[in-house]
């Protein structure tokens, strides 16, 4: 229905501005039809990213349907390579674009990286990050978002958090005062309950996928925990959701020391195709492990 309305000349004549928010996702998903981008393991690292963002790949067709309508692209994490590929994908000549660049810094966020000694699926590394209920009441727990790459992993995170807090089995309580979960397959009413409950302060923690956070500007979040290595652009988006009130925030990255078929040695980095979509995001993470 929207396609018919959008392409209707009567609607097109009234359009004054087109705005593309999170424009860097055109690079991540808009190129998914182009060869190796289909095989990019970055997509698998954030399961719920696939629910809606592949449609970004069809933006070019919609934008070309307009005539002389200005387009505003917004992104806080768009690297130069991504800008070049986005313009190429949308068939927009660079000389017709006015760039407004600014440095986005978040000095209030402290980033800590911990290698995971146990299995990535067990997420036992977060056990010491939550105190027993006798020592720390649920309402006193630091407001936290815990991001996992898959929907199944969100339940395991809840189990570990409840184990640490001494409330075993609490992960099955939909009215938990400690932690609840949110992902793309969560029911619409449950999603509303989780978001409204978190905003009211009914519980301090959410175990979630990347589906949570879009359009939210919570000033309550003090800590973000991200489990596993993944796309740095996505990680920046997620850890940026803490400290929105200007006060100090904490970002904790739990990462596997080595990744299967990853760039884990200087030799692997040297041989890798630096221009490949699937290796660029891995290089940023691998260098800190290899040359530490």
Q: Tens place of pLDDT for every residue, the chain, 292 residues?
A: 778 888 888 988 899 999 988 787 787 666 544 444 445 555 455 555 554 555 666 777 788 778 788 999 988 878 787 888 888 888 889 999 999 988 778 899 999 988 887 777 788 889 999 999 999 999 999 999 999 988 889 999 999 999 999 999 999 999 999 999 999 888 889 999 999 999 999 999 999 998 887 667 899 999 999 998 777 777 888 899 999 998 999 999 998 877 766 666 777 767 766 555 455 555 555 544 444 4
- Distances, alpha carbon 238 to alpha carbons 22, 94, 128, 151, 153, in Å: 13, 30, 22, 16, 17
Q: What is the pLDDT of residue 33?
A: 44
Sketch the domain layout of the chain as residue ranges: 2-96, 109-255
Q: How far is CA 67 from the centre of its chain?
A: 34
Closest CA to 281 of 16, 20, 49, 9: 49
DSSP state of 244: T
Per-residue buried b or exposed e for 131-157, using 16+ beta carbons within 10 Å of the residue's own CB: eebeeeebeebebbbbbbbbbebbbbb
Which secondary structure element, helix H or strand E, spans residue 200, and what is its range?
A: helix 188-200
Which CATH entry fits the domain spanning 109-255: 3.30.1490.20, 3.40.50.2300, 3.40.50.720, 3.40.50.300?
3.40.50.300
Residue 219 pLDDT: 92
Q: Are 69 and 18 in contact (CB under 8 A)?
A: yes
> Could you report the per-residue pLDDT of 230-285, keeping only the tens digit for each?
777 778 888 999 999 989 999 999 988 777 666 667 777 677 665 554 555 555 55
pLDDT at 36: 46
* Residue 47: per-residue pLDDT: 55
Token pair 């036992």: residue = 124
Q: Token digits for 69?
A: 């309508």
**What backbone phi and psi angles, to 5 degrees, belong to 272?**
-70, 150
CA distance 8 to 144: 45
Contacts of 123 (CB under 8 A, 6+ apart): 116, 148, 153, 156, 157, 160, 227, 254
| pLDDT value of position 291 | 41
Provide the 10 A C-beta neighbour count for residue 67: 8
Of 148, 123, 138, 127, the residue nearest 170 (C-alpha): 138
Note the pLDDT of residue 192.
93
Q: Computed from CA positions of residues 143, 145, 151, 157, in that sequence, does the dihedral angle turn out positive or negative? A: negative
Give the C-alpha separation, 262 to 289, whole Å. 11
């Amino acid at each position: 229905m929207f396609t018919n309305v959008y392409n209707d000349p009567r609607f097109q004549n009234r359009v004054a501005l087109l705005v593309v928010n999170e424009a860097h996702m055109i690079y991540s998903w808009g190129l998914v039809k182009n060869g190796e981008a289909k095989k990019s393991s970055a997509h698998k690292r954030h399961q719920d990213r696939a629910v809606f963002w592949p449609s970004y790949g069809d933006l070019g067709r919609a934008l070309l349907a307009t005539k002389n309508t200005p387009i505003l692209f917004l992104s806080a994490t768009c690297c130069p390579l991504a800008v070049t590929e986005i313009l190429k994908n949308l068939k927009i000549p660079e000389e017709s674009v006015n760039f407004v660049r600014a440095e986005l810094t978040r000095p209030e966020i402290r980033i800590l990286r911990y290698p995971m000694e146990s299995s990535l699926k067990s997420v036992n590394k977060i056990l010491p990050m939550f105190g027993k209920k006798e020592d720390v009441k649920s309402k006193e727990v630091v407001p936290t978002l815990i991001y996992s790459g898959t929907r199944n992993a969100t339940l395991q995170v809840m189990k570990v958090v409840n184990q640490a807090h001494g409330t075993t089995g609490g992960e099955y309580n939909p009215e938990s005062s400690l932690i609840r979960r949110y992902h793309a397959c969560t029911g619409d009413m449950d999603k509303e309950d989780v978001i409204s409950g978190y905003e009211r302060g009914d519980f301090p923690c959410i175990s979630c996928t990347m589906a949570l956070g879009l359009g939210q500007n919570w000033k309550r979040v003090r800590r973000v925990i991200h489990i596993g290595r993944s796309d740095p652009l996505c990680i920046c988006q997620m850890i940026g959701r803490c400290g929105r009130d200007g006060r100090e925030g904490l970002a904790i990255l739990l990462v596997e020391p080595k990744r299967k078929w990853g760039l884990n040695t200087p030799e692997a980095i040297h041989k890798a195709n630096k221009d490949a979509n699937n290796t660029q995001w891995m290089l940023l993470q691998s260098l800190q492990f290899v040359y530490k």
